[in-house]
Structure 1
Amino acid sequence: MTQLSTLPDATIQRPDLRPALIVGASGKTGRRIADRLDARGVPVRRAGRSTEPRFDWTDRTTWASALEDVGLVYISYQPDLIADGAVADIAEFVRLADKAGAARLVLLAGRGEPEAEHAGRVVHAAQADSTVLSCAWFDQNFSEGGFAPEVDAGSLTLPVGEIGEPFIDADDIADVAVAALLDTTSDGENPHAGKTYDLTGPRLLTFAEVATELGGATGAAIAFHRVTHDEYRAILASAGLDAPTIELMSTLLTNLFDGRNSSVTTDVADVLGRPARDFTYFAAAFAERHR
């Protein structure tokens, strides 16, 4: 594989001079990707409910204006590609992106989710060059996501047992996404076109081991509590989450932790020319922020 993303920024050829649309630019990956593109001098259009133009996955009338005159598109779907109607939304978005003349599409997809795989096939059928990033659970779910408040309070409660997950750092996802958006070979080709990258960290960790590693890094114990799925749903309800969110979380934690994702890949290294960040990298950063 051509590993252009490891070269100095000045040697990376811009595939398109039009702005890059980052859907989900305030999210864990979108924010990092937008910042990296900014640093490289790529014009960025951050898309969300509070941006101008506004973008809302629940309002298709906002999509075309966001896509107008963009060359590169990063797609992060909310709330998740397993949600009802998500694949149909992706199909319509891809149609509009092709109509707008976008050159490259990069889709963030959940690893092991059949619906995400379906969405990936839809994106690969686009007229534009396409790359799908099939990602394991993020390290940053424990610092920026829904688990963060409880972890900060010293515990982690989930309906998941001794199943290993190859947690991946969002910075690695962002680096691969930027490569997929920008890398161009000397003969003008996109080396990532048509690729689906299976992105994982370098080792498997159970959620209990995550709690232990984060506690060890901070010097304050983080207790892991395993509960039943019914107990977990009750916990989410008592926290004020709405029924669709509870159903989504329950589905994710039921379906994806059956061992299907308990393997690691070298795709991060294959694209970037360096190993994926180990969880200890995240744990050290997590501890630094909590001092």
Structure 2
Amino acid sequence: MRDEQILVVGGTGTTGSRVVALLRERGVAVRVASRTGEPRFDWIDRGTWDGALDGVTGVYVVPFDGESLTRPFVERAVARDVGRIVLLSGRGVDVPGYAGEASVAGPTHVDGEDAVRGLGTGTGTGTGSGAGGGGGAGTRWTIVRPAWFAQNFSEGFFLDAVLTGELRLPAGDGAASFVDADDIAAVAVAALTEDGHGGRTYELSGPRALTIAEALAEISGAAGREIRYVPLSPEEFVAELREQGLSAAEAADYAESLSPLRRGLDSHVSDGVRRALGREPRDFHAFVKSAAADGAWRTRRSTN
């Protein structure tokens, strides 16, 4: 095992679980932050933070959406001499009006990035090419801003609808440069374990943009059955979510999260994977092929 001890906040999620796996493959000691773990970690209970951070050399932070807790958590990490902090943020944080007024995650990301950047400037801070890093008490930070996850179709919040054969969204004909979560994790692990990433912000995307209809066409081909995209208005989408039992606030937030896609703000291709890893990002077609081989879109059979 190497000398690092990395705390992964969000270690059971889409990116966090992959970060954990990659770190362990490298022989790095990993602590998965969890309310049931030992030591216990709970975003809401600040009394658990110090125990989780004890002896840690680096932290991967998946923020708690809707709460301004990233800033005090980062401050605690710096106070305990954590050497590296990698923050999972979101695309469009630096674009006024990108997230929309109803966004829950938007303000969380904005405040989180501000907190991390506030640790210090150092050389190489921001999106420049310098290798130094900002940081309080020697802490180096890196921010990753991914586009829409490709895995939303295979294990995220699109999956249930995809399995029914019909995905109904207020996304219009907007396109997104979907990024593979494996690439996000690889960039995060590089920043946690290698030099040259301190003070950098990596915008991550796949190598091309696809509309929802185009993405589903590729999935349909791999799954061997048709999966349709049905475009809805935001009002229709919210009404359907309310019928499914979501609260008005939850439905509005979900609809708002799709508005950048509908407004054509997510189609650009970013170079963060290439900058961080020296290779091209994984294409959506490769993701689809792999997910299909793993049985992601096999229809579920009733257990009744």
- TM-score, length-normalised on structure 1? 0.86
Secondary structure in 2 aligned to 1:160? Answer: coil
Q: Indicate which of 118, 122, 127 corresponds to 1:125.
A: 118
Give the 3 Å change call, closer, same or farther, for CA 256–211 of structure 1 in structure 2. Answer: closer
Q: Could you list the per-position Cα deviations for residues 259-285 of structure 1 after superposition, in whole angstroms to 9, with x for gaps in the alignment?
A: 233210222112112110000011112
Q: Indicate which of 33, 44, 47 corresponds to 2:33.
A: 47
CA deviation after TM superposition for structure 1 residue 118, in Å: 4.0
Show the counterpart of 1:188.
Answer: none
Q: What do you get for the CA RMSD once the two structures are aligned?
A: 1.8
Give the 3 Å change call, closer, same or farther, for CA 246–30 of structure 1 in structure 2. Answer: same
Residue 33 in structure 1 maps to residue 19 in structure 2:
yes
Answer yes or no: is the 8 Å Cα contact 1:112–1:256 preserved in 2.
no
Answer yes or no: is the 8 Å Cα contact 1:76–1:108 preserved in 2.
yes
Show the counterpart of 2:82.
Answer: 102
Q: Indicate which of 53, 58, 69 corresponds to 1:67.
A: 53
Runs of 4+ displaced beyond 4 Å: none
Show the counterpart of 2:244.
Answer: 239
Q: Indicate which of 266, 276, 291 corresponds to 1:286.
A: 291
Q: Indicate which of 163, 172, 180 corresponds to 1:161.
A: 172
Answer yes or no: is the 8 Å Cα contact 2:11–2:20 preserved in 1.
yes
Secondary structure in 1 aligned to 2:176? Answer: coil
Secondary structure in 2 aligned to 1:247? Answer: helix
Give the 3 Å change call, closer, same or farther, for CA 245–173 of structure 1 in structure 2. Answer: same
Show the counterpart of 2:128.
Answer: none
Matched residue pairs, number? 265
Partners of 1:156 and 1:262 in 2: CA distance: 20
Partners of 1:214 and 1:256 in 2: CA distance: 19
Gaps of 5+ in 1: 1-9, 185-190
Answer yes or no: is the 8 Å Cα contact 1:133–1:198 preserved in 2.
yes
Amino acid at match of 1:91: R
Show the counterpart of 2:227.
Answer: 222
Partners of 2:47 and 2:259 in 1: CA distance: 34
Amino acid at match of 1:72: G
Answer yes or no: is the 8 Å Cα contact 1:72–1:105 preserved in 2.
yes
Answer yes or no: is the 8 Å Cα contact 2:171–2:261 preserved in 1.
no
Secondary structure in 2 aligned to 1:49? Answer: coil
Answer yes or no: is the 8 Å Cα contact 1:18–1:69 preserved in 2.
no
Secondary structure in 1 aligned to 2:89? Answer: strand
Answer yes or no: is the 8 Å Cα contact 2:165–2:228 preserved in 1.
yes
Give the number of the structure with larger relative contact order, counting CA–CA contacts within 8 Å between residues 6 or more apart: 1
Structure 1, 105-114 or 92-101: larger mean CA deviation: 105-114
Amino acid at match of 1:199: L
When you count helix as a share of all residues, which structure comes out higher?
1
- TM-score, length-normalised on structure 2? 0.82
Secondary structure in 2 aligned to 1:264? Answer: coil
Give the 3 Å change call, closer, same or farther, for CA 113–234 of structure 1 in structure 2. Answer: farther
Partners of 1:204 and 1:179 in 2: CA distance: 25
Give the 3 Å change call, closer, same or farther, for CA 254–192 of structure 1 in structure 2. Answer: same
Show the counterpart of 1:270.
Answer: 275
Secondary structure in 1 aligned to 2:201? Answer: strand
Gaps of 5+ in 2: 95-106, 120-135, 299-304
Amino acid at match of 1:22: V
Identity of matched residues, %: 42
CA deviation after TM superposition for structure 1 residue 243, in Å: 4.1
